[in-house]
Amino acid sequence: MLADVYRVLLAQRGHQGWWPGETAFEMAVGAVLTQNTSWTNVERAIANLKAAGVLEARVLLGLPIDDLAALLRPAGYFNVKARRLQALAAFLVDRADGDPTRLPAGDPTRLRQDLLAVPGVGRETADSILLYAVGVPTFVIDAYTRRLFGRLGLLDPEADYDELRATFEAALPRDPGLLNDFHAQIVAHAKDTCRPRPLCPECPFANWCPTAPREGGS
DNA sequence: TCCCAGGTGTCTC
DNA sequence: GAGACACATGGG
């Protein structure tokens, strides 16, 4: 059933070619900056980092924390995120010469544990980095995922993160490209048609979703 | 003027 | 272990 949702979304939108980011490090930075924040605000902060020439692990790590926070201001929680980004940059420099694609992915469970030990990297952020920056076949459970699948009545949106992640990973091929695209489809769908209000005006799940408008309905 | 947005860490009970 | 709260900007 979960795979059916992907097929419906893929048929509607085609492959998404996502996550936005020119480098793996930029994707990892985006994963931290998007915490409880809209992507448009994240884009502003990333543009600031690029303009300042600090979107590289070692450079970012060497920046005074207040200077980094000032660049991150549009993304909100800038003091918190400045500390989190430097912690992540330190981890990447130490383990992968600053390049997430060079992280040792042979034992993904161990790598996930190591990422979770970095201050400011929780489960969603760790999985976003693993999937989008490293290419590990893991599934990202975010607010959009909970909202869509909760509405479809396929999953309990309040369920534990790892429980939901295990459900998705058991139902889908261990293909990072597919898992990447599936999550991207969920995000695109949520942004276009499945916001909390108004509900699903052109939702492809009109016959599934208990809150979507029904044919001939009021 | 509110409410919301792709979380996480800390504190309290 | 669960729940409350802090962290902050920008758009609708």
The structural domains of chain A, with segments of one domain joined by +, span: 24-132
Give the CA A198 to C1' B4 distance in Å.
14
Cα→Cα distances A128→A44, A112, A125, A213, Å: 20, 11, 5, 32
Say yes or no: Cβ of A121 under 7 A from any atom of strand B. Answer: yes
CATH class entry, domain A24-132: mainly alpha
Confidence of residue A190 (pLDDT cuts 50, 70, 90): confident
Strand B bases contacted by the protein (CB, 7 Å)? 4-10
Tokens coding A35? 């915490």
pLDDT at residue A163 tops 50: yes
CA of A142 to C1' of B12 (A): 27
Q: How far is the CA of A12 from the C1' of C3 (A)?
A: 40
Specify the nucleotide whose C1' lies closest to residue A72 (CA): C9
Q: Which residue has the tokens 């009545």?
A: A153
Asked if A145 and A186 touch (Cβ cutoff 8 Å), the reply is: yes
Range from A59-63, A146-150, A191-195 that averages highest in pLDDT: A59-63
Q: Is the pLDDT of residue A91 over 80?
A: yes
The pLDDT score that the predictor gives to residue A209 is 53
A210: pLDDT strictly greater than 60 = no
Q: Is the CB of A39 under 7 A from strand B?
A: yes
Q: How far apart are CA A183 and CA A210, in angstroms?
A: 21
Alpha carbon distance A21, A33 (integer Å): 13
For residues A77 and A119, give the distance between their C-alpha atoms in angstroms, rounded to a whole number.
15
Q: What is the pLDDT of residues A105-158, one digit of tens each?
A: 999 999 999 999 999 999 999 999 999 999 999 999 999 999 999 989 999 999
A189 CA to B6 C1', in Å? Answer: 12
Among A3-7, A182-186, A201-205, where is mean pLDDT lowest?
A: A201-205
CB of A190 under 7 A from strand B? yes
CA A217 – C1' C4 distance (Å)? Answer: 41
Nearest-CA residue relative to C1' of C6: A77
In contact, A204 and A38? CB cutoff 8 Å: no
Per-residue pLDDT, A175: 97
- Tell me what percent of the residues of chain A surpass a pLDDT of 70: 89
Q: Is the CB of A34 under 7 A from strand B?
A: yes
Q: Categorize the per-residue pLDDT at A198 as very low, low, confident or very high, splitting at 50, 70 and 90.
A: very low
* Amino acid residing at A108: P
Taking each helix axis as running N to C, give the angle between helix A2-13 and helix A176-193, from 0 to 180 degrees, rounded to the nearest 10.
70
Nearest of A160, A174, A165 to residue A126 by alpha carbon: A165
Question: How many Å from the CA of A148 to C1' of C1?
Answer: 28
Q: Is the pLDDT of residue A215 over 70?
A: no
Which residue, counting CA atoms, is nearest to the C1' of nucleotide C9?
A76
What secondary structure does DSSP assign to A87-113, as a single string? HHHHHHHHHHTT-GGGS--SSHHHHHH
Of the candidates A58, A91, A87, A86, the residue with the CA atom closest to the CA atom of residue A71: A86
